[in-house]
């Protein structure tokens, strides 16, 4: 089981922000990769599916935003 930090591309300001949450995955990637690439052709892990449409406030614009494109959400291994 590996822990991943989650980042996403913000449509409001075109920067990458942390989603402020982590996920634990048995079948996760070894390096930073988008969800869309990590699970291409595979069923989404339910822990991952929960991340889609997860609403956050953009720290640059103050607007509520979310990212539903799984190619714009990234898993980054958080170490041990
Ligand atoms: Zn933003």
Separation of 11 CA from ligand 1 center, angstroms?
A: 7
| 2-9/73-77 β-pairing | antiparallel
Report d(CA 31, CA 52) in Å as an integer.
Answer: 20
The whole-chain average pLDDT of the chain stands at 91
Question: What is the model's pLDDT at position 1?
Answer: 84
Measuring CA to CA, which residue among 63, 40, 44, 55 is closest to residue 8? 55
Report d(CA 12, CA 38) in Å as an integer.
Answer: 25
Question: What is the model's pLDDT at position 40?
Answer: 92
CA 18 to chain CA mean position, Å: 8
* Residue 63 in this model has a pLDDT that exceeds 90: yes
Question: What is the model's pLDDT at position 46?
Answer: 86
Helix (H) or strand (E) holding 3: strand 2-9
The domain spans of the chain are 2-77
Question: What is the model's pLDDT at position 80?
Answer: 58
Query: Residues 21-55: pLDDT tens digits?
Result: 899 988 889 999 999 999 999 988 888 888 887 89
Separation of 79 CA from ligand 1 center, angstroms?
A: 26
């Amino acid at each position: 089981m590996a822990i991943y930090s989650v980042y996403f591309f913000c449509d409001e300001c075109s920067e990458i922000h942390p989603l402020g949450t982590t996920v634990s995955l048995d079948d996760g990637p070894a390096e930073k990769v988008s969800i869309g690439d990590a699970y291409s052709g595979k069923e989404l892990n339910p822990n991952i599916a929960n991340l889609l449409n997860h609403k956050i406030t953009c720290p640059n614009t103050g607007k509520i935003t979310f990212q539903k494109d799984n190619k714009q959400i990234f898993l980054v291994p958080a170490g041990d």
